Every structure is written in structure tokens, then in C-alpha cells.
Homo-oligomer: A and B are copies of this chain.
């Protein structure tokens, strides 16, 4: 249940080694295909060593999902921090998210697979985002920066766009550059389809 915290510098280094190896291996092979021996081989340690730091295969996976939540929050918060308007924040947030997926594709694949491997962690990841998103949209609505509307539904709709654009244009086929995707999607978010 509880993660075992290393007490020495060597221990911290090993734990980190194993986590990074797990990130690459899970990202490449997926949860089911990835074996403990794949991970320890990649980390250049013995199989038993992994069990000093993690209670099992599922725990190391969950730890990566939590880590991803933390990193995404930091990346997005930083990108959006001093946007002049909510709409501009929307644009910057989408751009930052897609760039983040491009930088850590394995980690993002892991988050998506968490839906099936660790549904609670997955829900926590997106629900946390939705909560923050909703607050921002409500505030912007109050301030008259955007039309008012149901921000719970909007938040999930907008997150859904971002997720799927990341999947298609970053993870799957990089045939369109990220700035183009951001510009086009943002235009849709801003103005809709209506003439």
C-alpha cells in the first residue's frame, strides 16, 4: 500500500532509475506486455531490487500516473499563469499540453492506459483538472470574458478535444505541426463552426 521511501542517496538513485526504466518500458510495451524482468533489465538491476521500492507491478504503474498528474499541473500552470485573458489562457494551455505530450509520450500513454489498469488514479487525474478548469471558466464568465454556460460540461468537452488531438497529432502521426493544430483548434474553441 504505502510506498517504501529510500533512506540513503544510493537508494534514492536506484528508485529513480527503476521509475525511469518503467516509464520507458510501460510506454513502449503497455502494462500487460511489460514484464518485471523487462523493467529491471532496462534499469540494470536485479528483479528483487524492484520489490525493495515498490510493492508490485501495479504500484510502480500508479506511481507513474501520479507523477504525470503532478508534472502536467506544473507545466500547464506555468504556461497559463500570466495570460491576459481567459481565451488566451485557453490557447496557451492547449499548446502547453500538446508540447508536453510530445516531450513525454511514454508518460502520456501510461496515463491513458491507467483508465484500465488503475481507474481511480485515472479519474483523479482528470477530475482534478476538471475542477480547476471549471473554476477558471466560471470566473471568466463572471468577468464577461466569455459567454456563460455550464462549465462542468464545457470543461470536459475541452479536455476531450485536447486529449484526442494529442493522441492523433502527437502520439500517433506527427503529420501536422503542433502550432497549426493549436491555431485551428483554438479557432474552433473561440468561434465555433457557425459562419
Q: Which residues does A use to contact B, with CB under 8 Å?
A: 30-32, 86-87, 90, 112-113, 115-116, 123, 126, 130, 144-147, 149-150, 152-154, 156-165, 167-169, 172, 176, 180-181, 184-185, 187-195
In the assembled complex, the Cα of A140 lies from the Cα of B51 at a distance in Å of 58
Which residues from B are CB-within-8-Å of A86? 193
Cross-chain contact of A123 among B30, B113, B172 (Cβ < 8 A): B172
Which residues from B are CB-within-8-Å of A162? 160
Q: Is the interface of A mostly helix, strand, loop or mixed?
A: helix
Cross-chain contact of A181 among B116, B153, B193 (Cβ < 8 A): B153
B195 touches A147 (CB 8 A): yes
Q: How far is the CB of A148 from chain B (nearest CB, A)?
A: 9
B149 touches A184 (CB 8 A): yes
Cross-chain contact of A147 among B150, B172, B193 (Cβ < 8 A): B193
A165 touches B176 (CB 8 A): no
